[in-house]
Amino acid sequence: MKELLIGNAAVARGLYDAGCKVISSYPGTPSTEITESFAKFDDAYCEWAPNEKVATEAAFGASLNGKRSSCCMKHVGLNVAADPLFTMSYTGINGGMVICVADDAGMHSSQNEQDSRHYAIASKIPMLEPSDSQEAYDFARAAFDISEEFDTPVLLKMCTRVAHSQSIVETREPLTDTDKEYLKLPQKYIMAPANAIRRHPFVEERTAKITELAETSPLNRVEEGDGSKDFGIITSSTSYQYVKEVFGDTVSVLKLGIINPLPIKLIKDFASKLNKVYVVEELDPIVESHCKNIGVDVVGKDIFSITGEFSQKTISKALGVEDKYSVKLDADIPVRPPMMCAGCPHRGMFYVLSKNKVTVLGDIGCYTLGSAAPLNALDMTLCMGASVSGIHGFNVAGGEETEKNTVCVIGDSTFMHSGVTGLINIAYNQSNSTVIILDNSITGMTGHQQNPTTGYSIKGDPAGKVNLEDLCHSIGINSVRVVDPYNLAECEKVLKEEMAKPEPSVIISRRPCVLLKYVKPKKPLHVNTEKCKSCKRCMKFGCPAISFKDNHAVVDPTLCVGCGVCEQLCAFDAFESEED
């Protein structure tokens, strides 16, 4: 059957058709839809785990017990999962195991631009890299075969463009009977030194064998051009599509699907027939360095950037193909950055923090947008959970001076992911830190995934539910307060009290994300122009529904959800609801 699928949905289908029975993941753009698509298959198990390390270990457990399994994450998620990753390389697998990781060149929705291929090399785990949805499907299936043939987990590397582009996929007959029996093999699965010492040589031999596979596998292929010996191109992933867009079938291309380990003879043979070889790869010079290490002279990062996303224009520009005519407007077009939605519950808390000039250590989620004008409320954003661990160090370093005017903010899902360990450190080592959990009852930024605090599973069924207040109390935080971020006066009062207390404290700022289906908007407000004194105080709030026209505030009724926070801000009662 032929279907138009995004790369992530194609991966999910490929995993499923290969007999994958268990997936455990943590959401992260651009990887989220793999797991969401897989959740639609009724006869396979699928879950959101609290973080990527937990997900990877859960998938490993399923593999150990004989099921084909997978875990999916974004590039920075692989940092969290790196601990099991490196040692799973030694143990190998029982049921096949595929780890899907999606890089984000261009940082469409990420805090850095790291290249996951380094992990494949460092952990000595094979990595496949598809260039469109058909390959995403095919490679997901092939990854399981390689996993079981060579006794190794396999990394399947996506990137934003392959993950989120739709192209036509032809699916094949699903596999059946992929389950294996559990066998107790202590020397293989107990990675204490005596056993691990024996497994390391196995890993090295395995890499040599998979290198042999890479020399002949159809996953790596040479596409002969029109016979010209001037130059050829070695490429992979989405870069392959850009190369073909520019040159079609006129240039010889070595298209790599197995990105670790890389072939040696195949590359040498390809290069030997050409006067010049270019390597086109996004981010770091992995293939380029390999070529140079094996004595093949190539040109790569001298002409292609190490930063950002490529396109056909990148290739044509670097290789001297003429630019296409394009319209150039001489107009100053204001940027349209993403922002917190009208009625976003985070905004009220950020307004209070900004107004009180509090130092705010931030975290990863929708609330990172609190850093934008006009609120400018954040001082730091590093990685998942770093706000809670970070405020402890910040207060240890600054003492009383910083303790009374510093907080950290972290969402409910991110707190479950890796904030709770930081809070345990605060409770254990008793820094006078104030932690604000922005509990909007969902994982917001990645598009509404359930998490351990919501009480629902990935399939929407009732599930276990972590009670945040109880959790904080039980790890030793005595002062735990809950506020409604739509109530500015309450937020400000509790904030000041908790920052002043000489003990660790948690404020749970609780209200569900306004985009959740069960949250019903109220009637939009309007401005009474006779009462509006044009003071622009409401403009400091950054609500996208409020603008300033003809010397008065104006509410856009298509955006306003009637949250009423602007009513609390206005000293002249100019915002009115229909009932007034």
Does 1 engage in binding with another protein (CB under 8 A)? no
Does 327 engage in binding with another protein (CB under 8 A)? yes
Output the DSSP codes for 82-93: HHHHHHHHHH--
Number of residues that bind another protein (CB under 8 A): 59
Q: Which tokens hold the place of 349?
A: 């808390």
Please say which residue, 275 or 307, places its beta carbon nearer to another protein. Answer: 307
Does 466 engage in binding with another protein (CB under 8 A)? no
CB 86 within 8 A of CB 123: yes
From 356-364, 371-379, 425-433, 473-481, span contacting another protein (CB under 8 A): 371-379
Does 161 engage in binding with another protein (CB under 8 A)? yes
CB of 53 to another protein, least distance (A): 22
Helices 265-272 and 286-293 pack at an angle, to 10 degrees, of 80
Contacts with 157 (C-beta within 8 Å, 6 or more apart), sequence order: 101, 102, 103, 116, 117, 120, 127, 128, 129, 237, 259
Does 544 engage in binding with another protein (CB under 8 A)? yes
Does 326 engage in binding with another protein (CB under 8 A)? yes
2 bridge partner residues = 170
Does 170 engage in binding with another protein (CB under 8 A)? no
Does 337 engage in binding with another protein (CB under 8 A)? yes
CB of 164 to another protein, least distance (A): 6
Strand intervals (E) in 414-537 = 434-439, 479-483, 505-510, 526-527
CB of 165 to another protein, least distance (A): 4
DSSP code of residue 422: H
From 63-71, 294-302, 445-453, 519-527, span contacting another protein (CB under 8 A): 445-453
CB 196 within 8 A of CB 90: yes
Does 535 engage in binding with another protein (CB under 8 A)? no
Contacts with 43 (C-beta within 8 Å, 6 or more apart), sequence order: none
From 37-45, 295-303, 317-325, 487-495, span contacting another protein (CB under 8 A): 317-325
Q: Which of 331, 397, 489, 571 binds another protein (CB under 8 A)?
A: 331
Please say which residue, 135 or 148, places its beta carbon nearer to another protein. Answer: 135
* Interface map 78-107 toward another protein (x if CB under 8 A): ------------------------------
Does 542 engage in binding with another protein (CB under 8 A)? yes
CA proximity to 257, closest of 298, 303, 213, 294: 213
Does 373 engage in binding with another protein (CB under 8 A)? yes
Does 320 engage in binding with another protein (CB under 8 A)? no
The secondary structure of 211-279, three-state, reads HHHHHHCCCCEEECCCCCCCCEEEEEHHHHHHHHHHHCCCCEEEEECEEECCCCHHHHHHHHCCCCEEE
Q: Which of residues 383-442 bind another protein (CB under 8 A)?
A: none
Q: Which of residues 276-305 bind another protein (CB under 8 A)?
A: none
CB of 345 to another protein, least distance (A): 14
How far apart are alpha carbons 275 and 257 in whole angstroms?
Answer: 24
For 219-254, b/e burial (b = at least 16 CB within 10 A) is bbeeeebeeeeebbbbbbbbbbbbbbebbeeebbbb
Q: Which tokens hold the place of 67?
A: 């099921």
Q: Which of 101, 262, 287, 366 binds another protein (CB under 8 A)?
A: 366
Any long-range contacts for 530-536 (C-beta under 8 Å, 24+ apart)?
531/572, 531/573, 531/574, 532/572, 532/574, 533/572, 533/574, 535/571, 535/572
Does 165 engage in binding with another protein (CB under 8 A)? yes
Please say which residue, 338 or 521, places its beta carbon nearer to another protein. Answer: 338
Q: Which of 41, 57, 66, 109 binds another protein (CB under 8 A)?
A: 109
Whole-Å CA distances, 297 to 261, 279, 346: 19, 10, 54
CA proximity to 448, closest of 498, 390, 392, 512: 512
Q: Which of 194, 208, 335, 571 binds another protein (CB under 8 A)?
A: 335
Does 511 engage in binding with another protein (CB under 8 A)? no
How far apart are alpha carbons 180 and 151 in whole angstroms?
Answer: 13
Sheet bearing 359-361, strands edge to edge: 359-361, 406-411, 434-439, 505-510, 479-483
CB of 545 to another protein, least distance (A): 9
Does 241 engage in binding with another protein (CB under 8 A)? yes
CB of 381 to another protein, least distance (A): 13
How far apart are alpha carbons 371 and 365 in whole angstroms?
Answer: 12
Does 184 engage in binding with another protein (CB under 8 A)? no
Burial class (CB in 10 A: 0-12, 13-18, 19+), 450: buried
From 151-159, 179-187, 264-272, 372-380, span contacting another protein (CB under 8 A): 372-380
Does 332 engage in binding with another protein (CB under 8 A)? yes
Please say which residue, 222 or 539, places its beta carbon nearer to another protein. Answer: 539
Q: Which of 37, 160, 236, 433 binds another protein (CB under 8 A)?
A: 160
Q: Which tokens hold the place of 78?
A: 């692989």
From 112-120, 262-270, 335-343, 461-469, span contacting another protein (CB under 8 A): 335-343
User: Binding residues for another protein, per CB under 8 A?
Assistant: 2, 4, 29-30, 32-33, 108-109, 132, 160-161, 164-168, 238, 241-242, 244-245, 311-313, 323-341, 366, 369, 372-374, 445-447, 536, 539, 542, 544, 546-548, 558
